[in-house]
């Protein structure tokens, strides 16, 4: 039995995610599929329109066997940190392969880039040189790659793929990459196929457009009644105005706090605020994550939990349950059973973030504290 890992966000779960799971089962009909997913907010700092329990149900209903949580403290950070801790979790579950999508489907190119970033001594110096000239990190990284190996990585899934491969190489994980090529431009707003990006689906939902052929039927039944309006910006604005020291929050670099305080006065929604703060040095995604850390009171001091404190199982089916029972003594890290925020700092922060998510979007505080994994047949 092949154990295949997937790192996901499912914002929301759609036909492309179902296609990925189906392709795994097409290759390995006895595959055990283990998902590691972010919870209430995404890697870019966006609010998740499916809560963590809805994501879990969607994944299990569409072929996954086990769903694990990637804690907030790791899931709303750079692609390297996001990949690092998701792979730590999946490696504890002894996966054989990591399945991910790629625009290029060129493993040799991805390997070359990953090895350059890890092993080429000139790479870090080149990146620093570009950063010192006021260029943002993604552009500096690509400029250094172009100088050294005449390659650029610009597509979002290829960037994540490089982060995954770097972690596998650095930690000598016995995990093989399993790439599924993206066959069209999922982000194209005019794309009328039944497989489009999660952002495309969110835009359609906001415009009250039909998405029935874009997602599995069980996900459609959840989304058709969703109220996507939330109080994210209102609470964030209050936090920025009332907070005297924004510099303590993760990703708020020195000097940015004054800019944030100034721009909030002339911004009337989250998108406008991000665009007003954005500069040549600070990308949209960097600003979005930073604002989420302010909203959730995630400080630089709290960003010091470098080792996993536990593994949290959000759900499983009967096949997943059998596997968990078989390997639980080998995992060598606590599986979260009792919801003890005093014992685990990671969980204390997760609880706070869930409370904020519940305040601005939809209340899942009861399910969070009950900590009862979803079980399907």
Helix (H, G, I), strand (E, B) or coil at 176: strand
Q: How much is the pLDDT for 157?
A: 87
Rounded Cα distance between 191 and 226, Å, is 23
Q: How much is the pLDDT for 186?
A: 47
Q: How much is the pLDDT for 192?
A: 65
Give the pTM.
Answer: 0.95
Rounded Cα distance between 269 and 295, Å, is 14
> Which residues have a Cβ under 8 Å from the Cβ of 151 and sit 6 or more positions away?
109, 112, 113, 145
Q: How much is the pLDDT for 188?
A: 52
Domain boundaries, the chain: 3-104+156-183+307-375, 106-154, 232-295
Mean per-residue pLDDT pooled into runs of 10, the chain (377 residues)? 97 96 96 97 96 98 98 96 97 97 85 92 90 88 91 87 96 95 58 86 92 96 90 97 96 92 96 94 93 98 95 97 94 91 96 97 95 93
Nearest to 200 by CA among 182, 212, 188, 210: 188
Tell me, which fold does domain 3-104+156-183+307-375 have in CATH? Rossmann fold (3.40.50)
Rounded Cα distance between 151 and 116, Å, is 11
Q: How much is the pLDDT for 83?
A: 97
Q: How much is the pLDDT for 190?
A: 57
């Amino acid at each position: 039995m092949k154990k295949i890992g997937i790192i996901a966000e499912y914002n929301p779960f759609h036909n492309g995610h179902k296609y990925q799971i189906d392709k795994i089962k097409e290759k390995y009909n006895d595959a055990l599929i283990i998902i590691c997913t972010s919870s209430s907010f995404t890697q870019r700092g966006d609010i998740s329109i499916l809560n963590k329990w809805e994501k879990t149900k969607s994944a299990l209903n569409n072929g996954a066997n086990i769903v694990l949580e990637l804690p907030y403290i790791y899931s709303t950070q750079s692609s390297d940190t996001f990949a690092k801790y998701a792979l730590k979790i999946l490696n504890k579950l002894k996966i054989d392969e990591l399945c991910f999508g790629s625009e290029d489907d060129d493993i040799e190119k991805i390997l070359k880039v990953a090895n350059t970033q890890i092993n080429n001594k000139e790479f870090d110096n080149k990146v620093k040189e570009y950063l010192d000239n006021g260029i943002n990190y993604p552009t500096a990284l690509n400029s250094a790659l172009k100088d050294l190996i005449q390659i650029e990585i610009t597509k979002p899934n290829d960037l994540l793929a490089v982060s995954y491969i770097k972690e596998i190489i650095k930690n000598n994980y016995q995990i093989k990459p399993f790439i599924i090529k993206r066959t069209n431009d999922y982000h194209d707003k005019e794309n009328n196929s039944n497989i489009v990006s999660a952002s495309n689906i969110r835009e359609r939902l906001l415009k009250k457009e039909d998405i029935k052929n874009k997602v599995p039927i069980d996900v459609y039944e959840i989304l058709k009644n969703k109220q996507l309006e939330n109080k994210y910006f209102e609470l964030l604005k209050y936090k920025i105005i009332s907070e005297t020291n924004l510099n303590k929050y993760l990703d708020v670099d020195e000097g940015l706090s004054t800019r944030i305080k100034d721009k909030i006065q002339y911004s009337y929604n989250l998108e406008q605020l991000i665009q007003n703060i954005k500069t040549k040095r600070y990308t949209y995604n960097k600003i979005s994550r930073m604002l989420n850390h302010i909203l959730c009171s995630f400080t630089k001091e709290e960003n010091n939990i470098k080792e996993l404190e536990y593994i949290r199982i959000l759900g499983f089916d009967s096949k997943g349950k059998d596997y968990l029972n078989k390997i639980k003594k080998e995992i060598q890290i606590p599986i979260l059973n009792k919801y003890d925020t005093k014992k685990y700092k990671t969980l204390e922060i997760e609880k706070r973030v869930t409370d904020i998510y519940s305040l601005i979007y939809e209340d899942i505080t009861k399910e969070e504290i009950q900590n009862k994994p979803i079980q399907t047949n």
